[in-house]
Structures are given as structure tokens and as C-alpha cells.
Amino acid sequence: MQLDDLKDAWVAHGTMLERSLAINERLLREVMMRKVRRALAPYVLWRALEVVLGIAALLVVMPVLAAHVAEPRYVVAAGALAMYLAGITALSAYLLVNGLGLDYGGQVMAIQRDVARIRGVEYRVLTWAVLGGVVVWLPAALVLFEALTGVDALARADLAWLVTVGARGS
């Protein structure tokens, strides 16, 4: 073999090695992305469930509110409940969309920034869900009871008792 033949063989092997490394790197990246997506799947499913349940709860509350729109007690209690549900559902939908929209092929810092933003919103959702839930649990129970049975439970409750229980949160 001549020196030029050895150089050509060396270049051919170098090209094959580079192609093999590129294929291995792509396969490794795909495997790692699949693991990340699989790890994120429960998060996305929970956010989707929250959105569906929030919409279902709004569909239960709104007819009761519409049926009693002239009564201030319903406007305050069921209206606050509807606004609470709409806000929590919107924030959950925001989390769902941003969780699905993460760009795994982007820069690591950009992914970390997006995840940090999602965590911040998730913290606010949890805070509002807990704090708001303490206030609206009683109207929610009474409106749900009325939606299921047709009994005007909120109209039969004493307004002073509703305000006291709602203000105390217990």
C-alpha cells in the first residue's frame, strides 16, 4: 500500500467514526428525551385532570348561579365560587400548556428558566387553592348540594351564619 492509499483509508475510517458518533449521540439524546417526557407525563396528566374537573365544576355552578341571579346571597356566594373556579382552572390550564410546551432540544438554561417559571405559577396555584378553598368550601358544598338535589340549600342558610363560617374558614 502506498502512503496515499493509507491516508484515504484513514480519512474513510475517520468519516465512518464521525458518522457513528453522530448516530450514537442522536440515539442517546432521543433516549434521554424519552425519559424526561415519561417523567413529565404524570405532571401533565394531573394538570389535564385539574382543568377537566375545574370546567366540570364551573358547569355545575353556573346554572345554579344563573337560576338565582336576582338573589344577592347567591350572587356573592356562587359568584365568588365561580370566579375562584375560573381562576384556578385558568392557572391549571396555563401550567398544562407550559408543561406541554417545554422545548427539550433548547439550551439547558432556557429549560431551567421555563421550569422555574412553571414552579412559581404552581406555587401560586397551590396557595390560592388552599387559601381560597378555606373561604369557598361552604358555598361550594351548598351549591353542589343544590345542583344535585334541587333543594335551595344556600337560600335556607342563615346569612349571618354563612358570613361567620366563611370568614372563619371552618
| Residue 83 domain flag | yes
| Residue 137 domain flag | yes
Which pLDDT value is given to residue 9?
85
* 167 has pLDDT over 70: no
Name the domain count of the chain: 1
| Residue 33 domain flag | no
Categorize the per-residue pLDDT at 165 as very low, low, confident or very high, splitting at 50, 70 and 90: low
- Residue range 9-31, pLDDT digits in tens: 888 888 898 898 888 888 887 77
| Residue 7 domain flag | no
Q: Is 135 exposed, middle or buried (0-12, 13-18, 19+ CB in 10 A)?
A: middle
* 169 has pLDDT over 70: no
CA distance 104 to 96: 16
In the chain, % of residues over pLDDT 90:
22
| Residue 9 domain flag | no
Query: Considering the entire predicted model, what is its pTM?
Result: 0.71
| Residue 91 domain flag | yes
Highest mean pLDDT among 4-8, 52-56, 73-77, 116-120: 52-56
- Residue range 110-137, pLDDT digits in tens: 888 988 999 999 998 889 888 888 778 7
What range does the domain containing 137 cover? 41-168
* 50 has pLDDT over 90: yes
- Tell me the average pLDDT across 79-85: 88
| Residue 10 domain flag | no
| Residue 126 domain flag | yes
